[in-house]
A and B are shown apart, each in its own frame.
Chain A
């Protein structure tokens, strides 16, 4: 009851690593699409289009890797992920609704940016996953 039956765990590790790799690739492709036009090729349309296409392709790969990762989880792990995803979605909607009016009502002086919301959602997601794993320990 050892090495042969440990395959599912190994498979999940591989799927998690695969997701991490695709996430890293998407991050690099996003950096290239954002900074490349300004710093590397002086806004040449064809290169910018190629960078954006690469970013979208990496994003698609990340999404597929995420689906494979979720399929590799067992039912409790999926429940934890589902709870975290739901909470993040609702928190994201609430935060976006408030955040976008902060500048209009002059509570902040800077322009609200989508990246701030993405960071807030990522933190929410991590906290909820951590809470889920603690809850079922």
Chain B
């Protein structure tokens, strides 16, 4: 039996800044159905890797393959992209409906107005995503589904709703792969948990998910698989395997401790006394420093 090629594959790929010099290198496989977090500090090259999958950044060496096909220019595969909320122009006169329907921009025919089918899909999506919203926010909005405020301007929504609108814009394309750039930055704790729950549900429905994050405890440790990036892929695997002081030091460039509390994996900046007396904290027994690379291509 021939095995289906992985969904995304970076084959010894290197990406450079326009002024030269390597920005990030990657030799990486993301299997179908995965839910992967690209973890690293700012400037580590996480967004560059996302944009490479979108075909917006070309490798200067190696290649990027999507479903076994080398990526050349236009994407043939169905990919949904959710940008960072911070990059969105919230002043723009755009209603929720207008924003979501942009997801069908290339497939909804030549007319300016949406087809009935597109509108129905948009409303169904908004209502589905809105169901995961916490009760008090729904109450504040009069206990109506999100589709009911399709006519609102995008800035007149809560942070969680805004994230859902742009998630809906990506999902209306019926993607196989969903890429999200820092989906949990700038939102409160409950919204973050809701969004991560929503993404897990979408992943259960068969959509592969790749998201970037620099948030160690509240995002990275909750994901099934992580790729630690800092200019190159440092480790790949489940949090238990990659969260070692050595990998975190290599990724974030600072000393960190890893411990478990009530079965939850946690990390923290290493306080000076913990480094001097390591027996005070129960360090997670992970891969030793010299086996740092062994986590790569774990699957």
Partners in one complex: no
Residues of B that sit less than 8 Å from A by CB: none
